[in-house]
Structure 1
Amino acid sequence: MARTQNSFVLEGVKIEGAYSEESVLATKNFQGRESDIHLTSYPRTGTAWTQNVLVGMVYGLDLLDGLDHSKMRPLFPYLEMKYMDGLSGLELANQITRVPRMVKNHLPPHLAPQEIFSLQRKNVVIARNPKDTALSYFKFYQTNPNLMKFYTSNGLEDFLDKFLEGDVAYGSWWIWTKNWIDKCRAHPENHLLIHYEDLHLNFHQTAQKLVQFLNLPPMSEESIAALQSKTSVDNMKSRYEQDPKRKGIINKGELHGWRKDFPEGFAEQFDQLTIETFGKEYAITQKFI
């Protein structure tokens, strides 16, 4: 069954891909369960990696063996997505019997499931350096079947201009990230901010934070090391790319790849906007510049 890719603006946010206004608004009004775990991320900030980490942590390391994109879909659905077979992420979520159930979205706070706030659902939020995010997004627009038809940029410089303006799917990284960080700082009891960079540099510490936040049984250092191995970029690529159509979902997973690929002058523009949004000291501590 062919699915429709749409481009629209909803409540100030540009949406492009296999979504509809109805699927996004239904996600906003999602009626979940007390034990639900939400994963919230801007695109290309480590969503698949964090999903794999959470699956191994919550459901067991053995479940990661052979876990590819098609098996992840019903296990950890993407709420606002309309899938190829006509099902929505919401419909898949309602079929899950596991406890706790885990679901993800890419939406800003005002479009995300509102019960995250009203009923204080556990919510893990991912942040990543905007320069690396933009570079990964540029590649994703060119390779992802849901976005390729919307790729209108004339090369990397043109795309980076669009990214700076927020003229990409899910809108401005700066607005999105600032608004979610504000939620995490105001309500740490049910929002945990983690950083893509820390999954690289401080995996064990980040895993322990997740375990504590989600009230899971303690994990030994040996178990965390096994989790890190099973969720490495090479491991995930080997699992996901058994299906040739899934190439590109797991990228290189590099840190600071922008340093060799960014055109002259763009790093300064990104850093200026980041400092204006967060302040210099906070931007540095969050690894945003």
Structure 2
Amino acid sequence: MENTELPPRPLLFDFEGVSMVHHFTDNWEKVQNFQARPDDILIATYPKAGTTWISYILDLLYFGQSAPERQTSIPIYERVPFLESYFHVIPPGTELADKLTTSPRLIKTHLPVQLVPKSFWEQNCRVVYVARNAKDNVVSYFHFDRMNKAHPEPGDWSHFLQRFMDGKMVFGPWYDHVTGWWEKKQTHSKTHYMFYEDMIEDLGRDLDRLCSFLGLSPSVEEKTRVMEGTQFDKMKSNSMTNYSSLPVMDFKISPFMRKGQVGDWKHHFTVTQNEKFDEHYQKNMSNPNLQFRTVV
């Protein structure tokens, strides 16, 4: 009989001071030597903070009219390559990015700011960063790791929450990630820092701010089309944006896009966990200027 079993789940290890799995380090030399172009747009997020949402928004803003066939024939992970990914079931992210014929190229990364290939800074590329509050982020990450065979086994919720607080997550601690990129914004003016909660609250307003940053002036009709196309339920049922074609994702356990809400953490945290987390947050959130909302 043919062996159809997926390889075992990867183990977490320390890489350049950040917890990683081999899927994101096996191609490291090519990642570090990746040649960015001045018009590239780097989409950066901590995992499960709205990455696919902002990727699709940008894709529709730039190519929704000029290349509508892209939306129905090429999955989002090929339109917006995941730079450091090395999964074997699809080409490496660096290769997919090099093959992009679009201008600008939209490229995504989950790397903490200090590990981003230096050519993005040398070429003065625009960066769009999306941050999500820690409580909803950890809940989403938990369900993601349950179904994503390319990440370590998550264990139960309380164990996972503790691991999140300890920073032993793929791509490192949430605190370092959101703060590192926030501080980069102070020195790299071409960084647009967005909040998931703001996008949920008023996508039209955040779309206007994003377009202003990008120097785009879409018509009312174009904006409406982007907002309608990127509604959560539409993306969740769209095989080009919901990752259902990737074999490492087990949709029988949980969908890649689960709820897309603010405040779902209340259904997961116990009172004790919430108190402990709040205390931990106060100690570890080092930048008082970086404020998150856990409800909208």
Normalising by the residue count of structure 1, what TM-score does the alignment of the two structures yield? 0.87
The 2-side partners of 1:85 and 1:228 are apart by 31
Question: How far 1:276 moved relative to its partner?
Answer: 3.1
User: Mapping of 1:148-227 within 5 angstroms?
Assistant: 150-153=152-155, 155-187=156-188, 189-216=189-216, 218-227=217-226
Deviates more, 1:260-269 or 1:205-214: 260-269
The 1-side partners of 2:68 and 2:110 are apart by 23
* Alpha carbons of structure 1 residues 93 and 281: separation in structure 2 relative to 1, 3 Å: closer
Greater helix percent: which structure? 1
Over the residues paired in the alignment, what is the CA RMSD in angstroms? 2.7
The 2-side partners of 1:231 and 1:182 are apart by 29
The 1-side partners of 2:46 and 2:100 are apart by 24
User: Mapping of 1:75-90 within 5 angstroms?
Assistant: 75-85=79-89, 87-90=91-94
What secondary structure sits across from 1:126 in the alignment? Answer: strand
Once the two structures are superposed, residues 61-99 of structure 1 have per-residue CA deviations (whole angstroms, 9 ceiling, x without a partner) of 586778479622221100111133462000111111111
- Tell me the matched-pair count: 282
Once the two structures are superposed, residues 102-145 of structure 1 have per-residue CA deviations (whole angstroms, 9 ceiling, x without a partner) of 10110011111222223321111110000000001111111012
Contact 1:80 1:105 in 2 (8 A): yes
Over the matched positions of the two proteins, sequence identity in percent amounts to 26
The 2-side partners of 1:47 and 1:4 are apart by 26
Contact 2:138 2:164 in 1 (8 A): yes
User: Which residue is 1:116 aligned to?
Assistant: 120
The 2-side partners of 1:203 and 1:74 are apart by 25
Question: How far 1:274 moved relative to its partner?
Answer: 3.1
* Alpha carbons of structure 1 residues 66 and 9: separation in structure 2 relative to 1, 3 Å: same
Whichever residue aligns with residue 153 of structure 2, its letter is Y
Whichever residue aligns with residue 184 of structure 1, its letter is K
What secondary structure sits across from 1:110 in the alignment? Answer: helix
Normalising by the residue count of structure 2, what TM-score does the alignment of the two structures yield? 0.85
User: Which residue is 1:27 aligned to?
Assistant: 31
What secondary structure sits across from 1:54 in the alignment? Answer: helix
User: Which residue is 2:101 aligned to?
Assistant: 97
* Structure 1: 5+ residue stretches without partners: none
Contact 1:132 1:258 in 2 (8 A): yes
Question: How far 1:228 moved relative to its partner?
Answer: 1.3
Question: How far 1:177 moved relative to its partner?
Answer: 1.0
The 2-side partners of 1:203 and 1:100 are apart by 23
* Alpha carbons of structure 1 residues 62 and 31: separation in structure 2 relative to 1, 3 Å: closer
Contact 1:80 1:88 in 2 (8 A): yes
User: Mapping of 1:5-24 within 5 angstroms?
Assistant: 6-7=10-11, 8-16=13-21, 18-19=23-24, 21-24=25-28
* Alpha carbons of structure 1 residues 84 and 39: separation in structure 2 relative to 1, 3 Å: same
